[in-house]
């Protein structure tokens, strides 16, 4: 977990085991993710840096510097070899984990980039921005393949369907859109009654869970294209 206290914490689920507290960032930690193998943790911060941590008692880390503003999102590729980061400097950056260095920037967004993710096969990158677009990029050619512009507000969160053929994006316009990236067409549109902050596909690909400003989670049935459950609990 990352926090406004500038620390990254690694929590142990076993009883009586203490959490590791990692110091290094100089400002709020905005995002964290374990690598697929679990041997590394990436974090992004308001201090404009990305750090790679070894999740052990020592808490050693490597600093990645290339962004010029807050880093909002970090995401490992499926093979754990690459890292993609999204920032308020309007860029998406790709890094090599093994050689621990900056590779290239994707810079066609015209406002803060909130989220960036690799496709399951690691060949594509999707990003969402306050410029109201969701962009699909080819990692090899480093070109923007398509811009999806259906959102009426900023696109706060985006993710790939486990099949890699679709993406879903959450918006401040209270909607969730699901697109087919083979035909670049809108497949499903869900209208909510509050800003949607985050979403995640079920591993089976049949469901999508969303988190929203009305304190609820919603489970969407993608096969039937309808709202299945609204989960209440958060205050």
Contacts of residue 219, Cβ cutoff 8 Å, sequence gap at least 6 = 207, 208, 209, 227, 228, 229, 230, 231
Residue from 5, 12, 101, 88 nearest 48 by CA: 88
Q: pLDDT digits over 110-137, tens only?
A: 999 999 999 999 999 999 999 999 999 9
Q: pLDDT digits over 54-68, tens only?
A: 988 888 999 999 999
Q: pLDDT digits over 89-114, tens only?
A: 999 999 999 999 999 999 999 999 99
User: What pLDDT score was predicted for residue 160?
Assistant: 98
Domains (range + CATH), the chain: 108-232 (2.130.10.10)
Q: pLDDT digits over 187-223, tens only?
A: 999 999 999 999 999 999 999 999 999 999 999 999 9
Strand segments (E) across 56-184? 61-65, 71-76, 82-87, 92-96, 101-106, 113-118, 124-129, 134-138, 144-148, 155-160, 166-171, 175-180
Q: What is the largest CA-CA distance in the chain?
A: 52
Q: pLDDT digits over 141-189, tens only?
A: 999 999 998 777 889 999 999 999 999 999 999 999 999 999 999 999 9
């Amino acid at each position: 977990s990352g926090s406004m206290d500038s620390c990254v914490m690694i929590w142990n689920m076993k009883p009586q085991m203490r959490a590791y507290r990692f110091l290094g960032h100089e400002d709020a930690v905005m995002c964290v993710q374990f690598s697929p193998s679990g041997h590394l943790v990436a974090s992004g911060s308001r201090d404009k840096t990305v750090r790679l941590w070894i999740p052990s008692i020592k808490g050693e880390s490597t600093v990645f510097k290339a962004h010029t503003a807050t880093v909002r999102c970090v995401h490992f590729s499926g093979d754990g070899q690459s890292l993609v980061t999204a920032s308020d400097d309007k860029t998406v950056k790709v890094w090599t984990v093994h050689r621990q260095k900056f590779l290239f920037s994707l810079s066609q967004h015209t406002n803060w980039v909130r989220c960036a993710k690799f496709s399951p096969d690691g060949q594509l990158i999707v990003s969402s921005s306050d410029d109201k677009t969701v962009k699909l990029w080819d990692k090899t050619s480093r070109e923007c393949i398509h811009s999806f512009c259906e959102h009426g507000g900023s696109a706060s969160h985006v993710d790939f369907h486990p099949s890699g053929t679709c993406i879903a994006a959450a918006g401040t316009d209270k909607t969730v859109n699901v697109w087919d990236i083979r035909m670049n067409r809108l497949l499903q549109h869900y209208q909510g009654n509050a800003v949607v902050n985050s979403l995640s596909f079920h591993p089976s690909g049949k469901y999508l869970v969303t988190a929203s400003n009305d304190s609820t989670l919603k489970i969407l049935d993608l096969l039937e294209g309808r709202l299945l459950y609204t989960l209440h609990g958060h205050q």
